[in-house]
Amino acid sequence: MHPTHDDIIEIERVLSLWGHVLDDRAWKRLGECLTNDAIYDASVYGFEPVQGIDMIETMLRDGEHAVAHHVTNIVVIPGDTEVTHVRSKGLGIRHDGTVSSATYHDEMVRTADGWRVAVRTLGRMG
């Protein structure tokens, strides 16, 4: 089953919003991107995997991570009408001006509020 054009636009909007939420440190807006019980696995960067928006917020707030986040190359992988997988790339600008690259592997679910990330796993690219 292929997600509809409207689904893909909404999924891309949610993933793009992620970078703005992180850059603005707008932690209370994480629910616009994640399910309440989301799993966030950034273990490739030395963080323990965490579950739930409150734990993800704590990890993001306390962790040293990029000061600017850019989400690119979003590819929605056909799934069912309620769950789909998405691959994208992220560029992060660090405090010292260096750039890191990562891949995002997301499981997204349709909720009453629209598409949200249920599981996010980061992979290091450079």
The C-alpha atoms of residue 1 and residue 63 are separated, in whole angstroms, by 38
pLDDT for residue 34: 98
pLDDT for residue 47: 84
The C-alpha atoms of residue 21 and residue 52 are separated, in whole angstroms, by 16
pLDDT for residue 63: 67
Biggest distance spanned by C-alpha atoms of the chain: 44
- What global pTM score does this model have? 0.91
Across 14-26, average pLDDT: 95
pLDDT for residue 64: 74
Closest CA relative to residue 116, chosen from 37, 24, 4: 37
The string of pLDDT tens digits covering residues 98-120 is 998 899 999 999 999 999 999 99
Is the model more confident about 56 or about 95? 56
The C-alpha atoms of residue 12 and residue 87 are separated, in whole angstroms, by 11
Is the model more confident about 123 or about 45? 123
Q: Which residues pair with 121 in a beta bridge?
A: 41, 105
The string of pLDDT tens digits covering residues 35-82 is 999 999 999 888 899 999 999 999 888 767 788 999 999 999 987 778
25, pLDDT greater than 80: yes
The C-alpha atoms of residue 113 and residue 27 are separated, in whole angstroms, by 18
The C-alpha atoms of residue 106 and residue 15 are separated, in whole angstroms, by 10
The C-alpha atoms of residue 98 and residue 108 are separated, in whole angstroms, by 30
